[in-house]
Amino acid sequence: MLHVAPSLGLGGTEKVMQTFVCNLDRSRFRAYVFSPHDGPRGRLLRKAGIETHVGTDLLGLLRKIRPQIVHLHRAGWPEPGALRPFRLAGVPVLVETNVFGHHDPSPDGKLIDRHIFVSRFCAERFEKINSIPAVPPKYSFLYNPVDTDFFQESCPAGRNFPTNTFGRISRADKGKWSRLAYDFLPSLKALVDEGVLPSFSYRIIGGIPEVINFVSENRLAKLVQFLPPILTDAEISGFMNSISFLAHANDTGESFGLVIAEAMAAGLPVITHPSEGLRDNAQLELVDNGRTGIVARNTREYAEAVRFLLTHPEEAKTMGENGREKAQKQFRAQDIVRTLENIYVELLELKQKTTAP
């Protein structure tokens, strides 16, 4: 089988693909990976013994390895010409992880045997917008996989959480930010200056120029620490062990929210916020307000949520362990991948029945 991703870079889409491929039962599936662009995940895949192919000749690769199954990782919307190689190669089964829950009504879009949404939210929004039931055999939803076993071992329950320290992690991309993630800082700094709130440390991976300038202009440098990007689960768990809760905010919302799920797997509560209208809102599917974290609707509520978790460490730990339990039940990589393997087999058998003479 062949997994196809837009790149092998740092993004969550690429990480999900990597987790799927590396957890497949190798006694049943031989997996290859193709992408037009190499990157750090390519190195990790090759280190794990996964054969990767980088370049532009997708059709040539399809004709060479003749996969029974191709699994695409893409946004879901029409991409003119992108599916043509699979039609020309006569790929038996074509699956897509539909990252953003979009609809592809193009003729080539009909080639896809199963559209897999990454959250219940995406499936329900797809139904609402397109009046198409998101049900098998054409549609289903499957949460993105998280190595909860690894996070359980690396971020064990009962560990000592850093005092007055919280963090945020994303790519250094403006589209991954909301002002909620930093507008709360001046009001909390005032409480620190007045002696009402102890000094704190906000650790940020993925800082963008607007945020860096905001911190400088508001004299927040003593409270905020900008850190370099990280890649592996070992590095992520190290970061999660350095904070006591995750501060999430993204104006576009989340179709799943991989960093949120990883923080939950590490036993951390999460602060997040609702998205407006039909924007991605799966962050509210992950974070249960008051149980696994706090949902804040505006800057004032976000500041109150940060203050509460800073000053109520026992309640924060309880929320974190509730989140860990949810993550283990719903996002465990090995369980998710076994379900995916069953989908592959089901589609192959269905295709064989429908094409039999």
Question: Does 156 share its domain with 236?
Answer: yes
Indicate if 158 and 292 belong to the same structural domain.
yes
pLDDT digits (tens, 9 = 90+) for 250-275: 999 999 999 999 999 999 999 999 99
- Claim to verify: residue 339 and residue 326 sit in the same structural domain: no
* Shared domain check, 239 and 325: yes
Structure confidence by residue, pLDDT tens digits, 289-341: 999 999 999 999 999 999 999 999 999 999 999 999 999 999 999 999 999 99
Together in a domain, 202 and 297: yes
Say if residue 186 is in the same domain as residue 324: yes
Quick one: 109 and 180 in the same domain?
no
pLDDT in tens, 206-218: 999 999 999 999 9
Same domain membership, residue 134 and residue 36: yes
Can you give the CATH number for the domain in which 162 is found?
Answer: 3.40.50.2000
pTM of the model: 0.96
Residue 286's φ and ψ, nearest 5 degrees, are -90, -45
pLDDT band at 278 (very low <50, low <70, confident <90, very high): confident
Q: Say what the pLDDT of residue 306 is.
A: 98
- Cβ contact 181:169 at 8 Å: no
Number of structural domains in the chain = 2
What pLDDT, on a 0 to 100 scale, did the predictor assign at position 232? 96
pLDDT at 357: 63
With a cut of 70, say whether residue 356 has pLDDT above it: no
pLDDT (0 to 100) of residue 152? 97
**Residues 310 and 350 reside in one and the same domain:** no
For 71, phi then psi, to 5°, come to -115, 115
Backbone angles phi, psi at 98, to 5 degrees: -90, 95
Are 121 and 197 in a shared domain? no
* Pair (338, 323) in one structural domain: no
pLDDT at 63 over 80: yes
> What is the extent of the structural domain holding 163?
148-330
- CA–CA gap between residue 323 and residue 319 (Å, rounded): 6
In this prediction, residues 94-98 reach a mean pLDDT of 98
216 and 261 part of one domain = yes
pLDDT at 172 over 70: yes
